Amino acid sequence: MDSDRWKQVDSLLQSALERPPEERDAFLRNACGGDEALEREVRSLVRSQQQAGSFLENAAIEVAARALARDQSKDLQATSDSPIGQTISHYRVIGKLGAGGMGVVYEAEDIRLKRRVALKFLPDNLAHDPRALQRFKREAHAASSLNHPSICTIYEVEEQDGQPVIVMELLEGESLKERIRKGPVPADELLELGIQTYDALAAAHAKGIIHRDIKPANIFMVSPGRVKILDFGLAKAIPSYRPEIESEEESLTLEGVIPGTTAYMSPEQVRGEEIDARSDLFSLGVVLYEAATGRRPFVGKNHVLIMNAVLNEKPITPSRVNPELSAALDTIIVKALEKDREQRYQHASEIRADLQRLRLGTDSGRATAIAIPVAATGFRKRWKLVVPAGVAVLALSVGSYFYLHRTPRLTDKDTIVLADFTNATSDPVFDGTLREGMAVQLEQSPFLSIVPDQQIQQTLQMMGQKPDAKLTPEVARELCQRLGSGAVLDGSIAQIGSQYLLTLKAVNCVSGESLASTEAQASDKNHVLDALGKTASEIRNKLGESLSTVQKLDTPLDQATTPSLGALKAFSSGRKVLLTTGEAASIPFYKRAIELDPNFALAYAWLGVASTSIGEPSIAAGYTRKAYELRDRTSEPEKYFISAVFHKEVTGNIEKAEQSCQVWIQAYPRSWIPHSYLSGAIYPVIGQYEKAVEEAREAVRLKPDNPVLYAFLMFNYTSLNRLDEAKAAYGQALARKLYSSYYPPALYQTAFLQNDAAGMAQQVARSAGQPGVEDELLGLEAETAAYSGRLREAREFSRRAMDSAERAEEKEPAATYSALSALREAFFGNAEEARHGATLATGRSAGRDVQYGAALAFAYVGDDRRARTLADDLGKRFPEDTLVQFNYLPTLRAKLAVRRENASEAIENLRAAAPYELGQTTSSTYGWTALYPVFVRGEAYLAAHQGNEAAAEFQKILDHRGIVLTSPIGALAHLGVARAYLLQGDKDKAKVAYQDFLTLWKDADPDIPILKQAKAENAKLP
Amino acid sequence: MERATLPDGEAQNPPCGEVSGLLRAWSDGDRAALDQLTPIVYDELRRLASHYMRRERPGHSLQATALVNEAYMRLVDYKGMQWQNRAHFFAVSAQLMRRILVDHARRHNLKRGGGVQHVSLEDEETAMVGGDRAADLVALDDAMDALARLDPRKVQVVEMRFFGGLSVEEAAEVLKVSPVTVMRDWSTAKAWLYRELAGGTTDGL
């Protein structure tokens, strides 16, 4: 064949391949114009092309190596004893780090990722026991699923000559054991250590992994204030290891030479019983004790005596050993060391929370209030001083690990900028779609962190670009440099015949160095998303993520999003519009997406979010419910997100919502979103403001440039009456030049609490004319006016707030202002106005909180029937809702009981609300339902003629100004206190309280019924 | 410029620069360099082979691909090299791989079935058809020579992609053509070579 003829063949072959298979026949017949030989040749090549499949698709060296492997597999010889100098998989062994009961550990270089790792080999005597091997592999695999900053990462489990080899993070620093040798660990460092390690245990326990061998040698201090736990679960894998085999390098203590590990066993471990997670909590308690005091709680001259001490002796209180320790820490450690595990902390998160509280310095006595129970006698059964063989499930420590600083591809602190895919096909369906798909895929990685679009937009604007500018590789690289990101990911798609080629490349945006690249082919358009998923998984691994998380957290793209390219296209357009235009504009795109794929869970989830934002809570609930039903069709992080939102917004089950966030945090410790959700939407509802502050701080730490997080800090600090810290949080936001529409209401509230009229006016002025913000400030002004009895003014502000909300097309807020007006009138004794407002509110919205407000107003003015109807309806609609069941309904029923003059029933009703009574609705930026249960309880006690109890309730309201804020019950509580004292016959105190109320209401409208009553009551006093 | 030498005994992961230097020398016509390069490639080959012996997980492409990429990275220093250009370097290392691997196959008499055809899980259909008709590296080398007489660029593409482990993009850069052209060349060459190795006929042209 000559070269012209060949060119003809080649060109016809390509043209044929570019056509759909069913058209090729006709095309060739036509194009060959009767040249049968030509036609046969091209046809033969087309056939061959179809059959070739993955022919030549694997690199030659691999093919050759496989062949060689088959040739040599028979005479495989075991390698020499020491692996130093050998290469195992892609790890070159450099030197030995240590040895112990758990095996031998070597330092090695990961040639592929150019980083140092530690390799752990099984001890020789176990290496030939198939059952031990199985167990070891299983445990190592389980442990490799743990991804937590305080757990030494297991990258993968390799095999060398049939022996498992654990490849793990190489750690630098010293073990806690070495650290303790230098003396007790200072208190702040100790708390940090305790918090991090208990946090790590919480993460492991949540996955059902128990460490079983917590001891100082297994805890590494990698840098000041950062610790890591080693060897999760491995103790179980090597059950034949017992303390007798401890090496002689164990520590010298005051008592002389004593064996190590026994001292950290839990009583149940010593007894050889089945152990659970609580055993780890005990062992870590022993470690904390030792770190705090420099000596161990349970000592003895030999194993048996130590075991006896673990079982029967009560340790000396830590602060008696080290007088610098606080009583609060004593309490925590003593509780951790309870012999009866039922008496101990039950979950790692509990003790972590106590330690955290201690660190925050806000320990208001909860920890100290825990009584130190007398040692449980139940377990003082006759313990025979004989330890059955094989009882002690222990393992030896490994020496030191040293981490030599080498730069891996990326670290888990780097972020990544995703560029738009270069679309070399003529098909616009890929524009935007592939980047969105890639983002979903990569967000599953707990290791990689993608720069969010919002931040990209802001940076684009700083670069003088339009916020929706195309992210070409050049633009993306500049973005990446400005944001200090680790890498930019460039992708491309090209069409070759009916096939598609996708490429993906990670580039260091400072040096331009290529960090990793990958490509995949799709046989046709329907397989493009598959191919995209493949490139994503591959790049995750190549960039340094542990293989176990890549495999575990890698829902295929068509399952994580949608198998429909068109639906994904519509969805990604929606996401884009959301950023440039707003939530409302994104809705039609999402709707289009679910039209094309009615099972597109993520699209429902975002429809839910968008509908909430535009004030359509009931429509939003429908979408969120649908997303929740389809949640298995999303990726891991989306699943957590959907579950948390579903429980919070649809069922209202706060406990479940909190749990969703907690598991989310465990799986994705780098994600700020669950922390943000906990601090902004979950903990405030149940009145746990300290936890909310903690979460907000954690969220800020992870995501310091998100303005909303500072608002959450401000709100929660304010709720705790910690106004200086609230202001400091605002200062932090200012320093970062951040702004959020939450700031004006938050600042208004702190100004209100400090009687700073100018400060309040400033925030009102700042938000005037801003749709969606203005109405909130007007609402606050209305409440403020009502707080000092200026009712006409309050009505005027409420009217303006409603107008403003309606102008901004925000239905729910408008209805909320009606409900608030109604309640205010009800409290003040204006039945007619209250009824009118409540009717208006329920007409505007069937939302949960509005309905409650209206119902309470009806209950106050004696419209029992309507109050009860609304209450019953709430109960039916929200059977799982924490706020409804434990706050709203008890309050409503109690109020109705008070009206029926059945005070004791009312008090009984309100018992259920006690744990939640400091909680508030978060449907607006001020928690307007807060402390109503307390107010009604105060009224019930008044009705029951229990003055002392009534005074205590009203006083509680006065003591929680940060939560009550501008609510009129804050003013009326003074009157409540006055009446309570009067009931007790304490006329002096009553007089003072009446004066407080009347002073507060000195400018009040004179015709308010409750004011007239108060004046009359006061006048009767001598 | 310093001339690198290999350490005595087992070749132990020579620094990339060393391989680079040898490659350059070889491409400049220094035949002794090939003698020094060959054991390095063999070493890598053995290392990979022992990996496969330990864990035969067919179709597990993530591992295998990472491994092979790494092999190339170890052999050739993509980043640190100071060649006249990357393209030159890629071309030379692909030729080298072809040369060494084919020689190795000839010497070890790699039998049919031990060679080219690797069928991934996605291609069950091909496995049925392809099956026994797999060809070895030696036959492939011969077929490539035959194709080179018709269309040398297509053979270069195969050399770079299959032997050199280059991506489509990189091959395009070397050949100074568009990636689409590389993909076209690749699919034609694959069809042609597959037919050749599978014993198909050329229908009388």
What tens digit of pLDDT does each residue of A277-289 get? 899 999 999 999 9
Nearest partner of A604 among A581, A582, A622, A586, judged by Cα: A622
Residue A786's pLDDT is what? 96
- For residue A422, list its beta bridge partners: A492
Task: Look at residue A600 and tell me whether its pLDDT is greater than 80.
Answer: yes
Of all helices (H) and strands (E), which one includes residue A520? strand A514-522
Check CB contact of A426 with chain B, cutoff 8 Å: no
Most distant CA atoms of chain A, gap in Å: 124
Size of interface A-B (CB pairs under 8 A): 231
Residue A720's pLDDT is what? 94
Residue A362's pLDDT is what? 42
Contact B49 A53 (CB under 8 A): no
Interface test with B, best of A38, A41, A58, A500 (most B CBs within 10 A): A58
Average pLDDT of chain A to the nearest whole number: 82
How far is B30 from A500, CA to CA, in rounded Å? 41
Average pLDDT over residues A222-241: 69
Amino acid at A107: E
- Please report the DSSP string for A197-250 in residue order: HHHHHHHHHHTT---S---GGGEEEEETTEEEE--TTHHHH-TT--GGG--TTP
Provide the H-helix boundaries in chain B: 16-27, 31-54, 61-75, 86-108, 124-130, 137-150, 152-158, 168-175, 179-197
Residue A72's pLDDT is what? 54
Q: Give B200's pLDDT tier (boundaries 50, 70, 90).
A: low
A441-445, A542-546, A612-616 — most confident range:
A441-445
| Minimal Cβ distance to B118: which of A63, A501, A514 | A63
Q: Which of A305-309, A588-592, A611-615, B53-57 has the weakest average pLDDT?
A: B53-57
Q: Tokens 């597999």, residue?
A: A73
Q: Could you tell me the end-to-end alpha-carbon distance of chain B, in angstroms, rounded to an integer?
A: 53
Residue A78's pLDDT is what? 34
Q: Which of A134-148, A476-490, A638-652, B6-20 has the weakest average pLDDT?
A: B6-20
Q: Which residues of A touch B173 (CB under 8 A)?
A: none
Contact B194 A70 (CB under 8 A): no
Task: Look at residue A383 and tell me whether its pLDDT is greater than 70.
Answer: no
Q: Could you tell me the end-to-end alpha-carbon distance of chain A, in angstroms, rounded to an integer?
A: 124
How far is A728 from A700, CA to CA, in rounded Å? 13
Give the tens place of pLDDT for each residue, A301-342. 666 677 778 888 888 889 888 888 888 899 899 999 999 888
Average pLDDT over residues B129-145: 61
Q: Give B86's pLDDT tier (boundaries 50, 70, 90).
A: low
Amino acid at A115: R
Higher-confidence position of A447 and A883: A883
Contact A517 B167 (CB under 8 A): yes
| Minimal Cβ distance to B118: which of A58, A69, A159 | A58
What distance in Å separates residue B25's CA from the closest CA in chain A?
22
Q: Which residues of B touch A495 (CB under 8 A)?
A: 180
Q: Which residues of B touch A48 (CB under 8 A)?
A: 191-192, 194-195, 198, 200
Q: Which residues of B touch A44 (CB under 8 A)?
A: 195, 200-203
Backbone angles phi, psi at A156, to 5 degrees: -165, 170
List of residues 6+ apart from A978 with CB closer than 8 A? A990, A991, A993, A994, A996, A997, A1014, A1017, A1018
Q: Give A881's pLDDT tier (boundaries 50, 70, 90).
A: very high
| Minimal Cβ distance to A59: which of B12, B120, B162 | B162
Task: Look at residue B124 and tell me whether its pLDDT is greater than 70.
Answer: no
Give the tens place of pLDDT for each residue, A45-73. 998 888 776 778 777 777 777 666 665 54
Pairing status of strand A416-423 against strand A487-496: parallel
Query: What share of chain A has pLDDT > 70, as a percent?
Result: 86
Q: Which of A230-234, A469-473, A996-1000, B61-65 has the weakest average pLDDT?
A: B61-65
Amino acid at A548: S
Average pLDDT over residues A153-158: 82
Of all helices (H) and strands (E), which one includes residue A116? strand A115-121
Pairing status of strand A487-496 against strand A499-507: antiparallel
With beta carbons less than 8 A apart as the criterion, state whether A413 and A543 touch: no
Structure tokens, A497: 């015949």
Structure tokens, A54: 């993955």
With beta carbons less than 8 A apart as the criterion, state whether A333 and A285 touch: yes
How far is A812 from A121, CA to CA, in rounded Å? 63
List the single residue in A with minimal CA-CA distance to B112. Answer: A67
- Provide ipTM, 2 decimals: 0.75
Task: Look at residue B1 and tell me whether its pLDDT is greater than 80.
Answer: no
Residue in A199, A213, A354, A554 annotated catalytic = A213
Q: Tokens 């392809």, residue?
A: B130
Higher-confidence position of B182 and A236: B182
Contact A1 B150 (CB under 8 A): yes
Q: Tokens 């307390």, residue?
A: A934
Task: Look at residue B130 and tell me whether its pLDDT is greater than 50.
Answer: no
Residue A303's pLDDT is what? 64
Residue A81's pLDDT is what? 55
Give the tens place of pLDDT for each residue, A387-438. 222 222 222 222 222 222 223 456 666 788 999 998 888 888 888 888 888 8
How far is A893 from A1011, CA to CA, in rounded Å? 26
Backbone angles phi, psi at A203, to 5 degrees: -65, -45
List of residues 6+ apart from B129 with CB closer than 8 A? A51
With beta carbons less than 8 A apart as the criterion, state whether A891 and A936 touch: yes
Q: Is the pTM of this model over 0.95?
A: no
Provide the H-helix boundaries in A829-847: 831-844
What distance in Å separates residue B32's CA from the closest CA in chain A?
22
Find the angle CA(A968)-CA(A969)-CA(A971) to the nearest 5 degrees: 70
Surface of A (488-507) touching B: CB under 8 A: 492, 494-497, 499, 501, 503, 505
Q: Tokens 């694959």, residue?
A: B190
Residue A76's pLDDT is what? 37
Average pLDDT over residues A370-379: 30
How far is B106 from B137, CA to CA, in rounded Å? 8
What's the DSSP call for residue A33? T
Task: Look at residue B123 and tell me whether its pLDDT is greater than 60.
Answer: no
Higher-confidence position of A313 and A77: A313
Q: What residue ranges in A254-363 does DSSP mark as E strands?
A: 256-257
How far is A359 from A88, CA to CA, in rounded Å? 45
Residue A550's pLDDT is what? 66
Check CB contact of A550 with chain B, cutoff 8 Å: yes
Residue A222's pLDDT is what? 82
With beta carbons less than 8 A apart as the criterion, state whether A629 and A605 touch: no
Check CB contact of A52 with chain B, cutoff 8 Å: yes
What distance in Å separates residue B15's CA from the closest CA in chain A?
12
Of all helices (H) and strands (E), which one includes residue A149? none
Query: What share of chain B has pLDDT > 70, as a percent?
Result: 51
| Minimal Cβ distance to B191: which of A49, A60, A71 | A49
CA dihedral (A874, A878, A882, A886) in degrees, to 10, reads 30
Q: Is A378 helix (H, G, I), strand (E, B) or coil?
A: helix
Give the tens place of pLDDT for each residue, A971-989. 999 999 999 999 999 999 9
Nearest partner of A439 among A418, A464, A466, A462, judged by Cα: A418
- Crossing angle for the helix pair A831-844 and A848-860, nearest 10 degrees? 160
Q: Is A752 helix (H, G, I), strand (E, B) or coil?
A: helix
How far is A235 from A243, CA to CA, in rounded Å? 12
Give the tens place of pLDDT for each residue, A499-537. 888 888 888 887 777 778 888 888 888 888 888 888 888
Find the angle CA(B187)-CA(B190)-CA(B192) to the nearest 5 degrees: 110
How far is B173 from A477, CA to CA, in rounded Å? 21
| Minimal Cβ distance to A10: which of B53, B188, B202 | B188
Task: Number of helices (H) and strands (E) in chain A: give both, helices first.
Answer: 48, 15
Per the annotation, the verdict on A468 as an active-site residue is no
